[in-house]
Each structure stands twice: as C-alpha cells, then as structure tokens.
C-alpha cells in the first residue's frame, strides 16, 4: 500500500482535506432548490463508499509496504471492525445534523460553528492518547483562536438572522460539532500503529476508511430515515420520491458531494500516521474557513448584513488562519 512518510507532504494532504471538507456542501446547495436534503444524502453516502472502495483497490493494494486492502479486510479483528463502524455511525448522525443546519442557516454559519466546535474538541480527543507528539503551547493556542472564531461567527449570524430560526441553526450546528469531534478517534483506534508491519487484526488506513463508510451507509437506514419522516425543514419524503423524482443530474450531484468529502477523509487518515491524528484532524477541520469563504463570497449569505457585521467576519477569518498555522507548527516543535 502507499504510505506517507514526509511531514510536508502530510501537511499538503491535510490542506487538500481542508478544501474537500469545506467544499462538498456546495453540492447540497446546488441540489437544495429541487431536492430535499434527506434524499440528497442517500446519494452522498453512496459517493463516500465508492471513493473509499476505489482508494482501497488502487492505492491500498499497491506497493510493497504494509498489507494489501483485501487481505487486511479479511484478517480484521472484531474490535477493529467495531471501532471503524462506530466511527461511521457517530459521523453520520453528526453530519446529518450539520446538513440540516446548513439548510436552515447556510454554510457560512453551520460550518464555522459546528465544524469549529468539532475541531476544538476533536484536537483534544486526538491529542490525549499521544501528547508527546505535539507542542501543547502551539496546539492549544491555535485551538483557542479557532474557538474565538466560532464566537465571532455566531455574533455575526445573530446580526442577520433573529428569532427562533437563528437559535435553531446555532443549536443544530453546536450539536453536530459535539458529535463530530469523536468519530475520528474511533477510526484511528481501529488502525495499526505501525503502517509497515501491520499489527495482526488491525486496519490499514484504506481498510479503516472503507469500513467506516459502511458504518455511514448502514446507519443511514435509521438516522436518515428519521429525517425523511420528520424533517427539520420542509415536508416528509419517501423512498419512492427518491427513485421517481430524482433526475440523473441530481443523483450525480449528491454522489459527487460524497466523493469530494471521502477524498478528504482518506487523505487525512493517510497523513495522520506521520503528522499525528490531532494535527491531521485539526487541519482538515480547517474546512470551516473554506466553507465560510464559499458562504460569504459565493453564496452571498451575508449580503443584507447590517453595519459592523463584516468587521466581525474579518476578525473571524484572521483568527481561523492564525489558529491553523499554529496547529501546523505544533508537530514536533
């Protein structure tokens, strides 16, 4: 399998992850005028599985290091399978709540608040198992600046959206972020700590992400079905509507969203062995900054904002950028 052994390359992969995780929701925005988000989300989960399987059968089955994708999958211990599946289940309910928050509040709000929260808590949960790998001053100062950016973004949102809708969007984003902060650790714990000499019964990054994606898809029949019947916004939908009303274009958009997100997940996990999972997760969740840029400058979600709002957004962007730089510097410093 292909193994990453350079820290600068690992950082580059994390930056690509950031771009992917911050951009996939544009596919939801594109489909939302014609397509309910629970129906969009079925195609999204299919895209996640397709891409993870592709990586496993190509990069995960190439080279002389580690263990190939299929043998590693067949030799997995129940504990590794359970951890990767559980990571998928936790991610799925968190991501569904995030998608619902995007539907209500927009990308410029849901991502900085929800994924910003996930970044802060996720860095901590991935730091604790191996604190010796990081400079805690840089790491937690960076996380603190990201937390400040979350507060500034929430303040900006309150200026343009008042009342119960504002509160609902923020609460959904926070709940999504709280759950999102835990999924990555379960996936990391399912993998071998040595990528060249794989510990028997544990996963390679490629196998872990594939089983993780299966956990997403299986749990979708519980969580997404609930949203189909009791949607947060709009009317309930059925499986019949998915097959009858979904055009090829809408299905492709949804699958593309899953593929984009899954590329980010795969690259993040590949980078985690050399960068450390706290840093690879933290940088990937810098997607908050990317999504906020999409929301502010492309989707114009703050076009009617009152005076003073853009000053808050400027400080928010600056706080995110400096925080992410400090997180990068936290490796072995």
Q: How many helices (H) and strands (E) does the chain have?
A: 15, 0
Give the whole-angstrom CA distance, residue 244 versus residue 261.
Answer: 26
DSSP strands (E only) in 19-146: none
According to the model, what pLDDT value does residue 241 have? 95
Could you tell me the CA-to-CA distances from 331 to 7, 137, 198, 326 in Å, in that order? 9, 11, 24, 10
Q: pLDDT (tens digit, 9 = 90+) per residue, 172-221? A: 888 999 999 999 999 999 999 999 999 999 999 999 999 999 999 999 99
Percent helix / strand / coil, the chain, rounded to 5: 75, 0, 20
Give the whole-angstrom CA distance, residue 250 versus residue 37.
Answer: 11
Structure tokens at 314: 């400027």
| pLDDT above 50 for 333 | no
191 phi, psi to nearest 5 deg = -100, 160
DSSP 157-218: HHHH--SHHHHHHHHHHHHHHHHHHHHHHHHHHTB-S-SSSPPTTPBPHHHHHHHHHHHHHH
Give the whole-angstrom CA distance, residue 295 versus residue 41.
Answer: 20
| pLDDT above 80 for 160 | no
| pLDDT above 50 for 129 | yes
Give the whole-angstrom CA distance, residue 227 versus residue 230.
Answer: 5
Under 8 Å between Cβ of 57 and 207: no
Under 8 Å between Cβ of 70 and 61: yes
Q: pLDDT (tens digit, 9 = 90+) per residue, 72-112? A: 999 999 999 999 999 999 999 999 998 888 778 777 677 77
| pLDDT above 90 for 304 | no
pTM, two decimals, is: 0.88
| pLDDT above 70 for 141 | yes
DSSP code for 134: B
Helices 7-23 and 248-275 cross at an angle (nearest 10°) of 150
Q: Which of 99, 87, 83 is nearest to 44 (CA)?
A: 99
Under 8 Å between Cβ of 19 and 260: no
When pLDDT is averaged across residues 45-71 and rounded to a whole number, the result is 95
Under 8 Å between Cβ of 4 and 273: yes
Give the whole-angstrom CA distance, residue 219 versus residue 57.
Answer: 24
Give the whole-angstrom CA distance, residue 208 versus residue 180.
Answer: 17
């Amino acid at each position: 399998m292909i193994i990453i052994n350079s820290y600068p390359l690992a950082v580059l992969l994390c930056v690509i992850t950031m771009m992917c995780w911050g951009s996939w929701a544009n596919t939801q925005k594109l489909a939302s005028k014609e397509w309910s988000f629970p129906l969009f989300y079925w195609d999204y989960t299919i895209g996640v599985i397709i891409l993870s399987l592709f990586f496993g059968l190509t990069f995960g089955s190439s080279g002389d290091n580690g263990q190939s994708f299929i043998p590693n999958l067949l030799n997995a211990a129940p504990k590794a399978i359970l951890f990767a599946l559980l990571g998928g289940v936790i991610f799925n309910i968190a991501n569904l709540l995030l998608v619902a928050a995007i539907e209500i509040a927009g990308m410029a709000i849901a991502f900085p608040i929800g994924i910003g929260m996930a970044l802060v808590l996720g860095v901590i949960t991935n730091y604790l198992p191996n604190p010796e790998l990081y400079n805690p001053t840089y790491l937690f100062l960076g996380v603190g600046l990201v937390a400040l950016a979350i507060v500034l973004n929430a303040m900006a949102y309150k200026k343009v959206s008042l009342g119960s809708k504002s509160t609902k969007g923020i609460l959904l984003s926070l709940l999504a972020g709280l759950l999102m902060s835990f999924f990555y650790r379960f996936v990391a714990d399912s993998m071998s700590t040595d990528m060249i000499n794989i510990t028997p019964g544990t996963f390679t990054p490629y196998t872990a992400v594939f089983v993780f994606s299966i956990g997403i898809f299986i749990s979708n029949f519980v969580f997404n079905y609930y949203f189909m019947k009791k949607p947060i916004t709009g009317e309930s939908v059925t499986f019949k509507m998915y097959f009858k009303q979904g055009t090829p274009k809408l299905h492709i958009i949804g699958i593309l969203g899953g593929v984009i997100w899954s590329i980010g997940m795969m690259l993040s996990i590949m980078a985690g062995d050399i960068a450390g999972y706290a840093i690879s997760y933290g940088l990937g969740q810098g997607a908050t900054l990317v999504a906020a840029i999409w929301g502010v400058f492309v989707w114009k979600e703050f076009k009617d904002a009152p005076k003073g709002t853009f000053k808050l957004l400027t400080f928010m962007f600056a706080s995110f950028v400096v925080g992410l730089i400090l997180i990068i510097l936290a490796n072995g410093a």
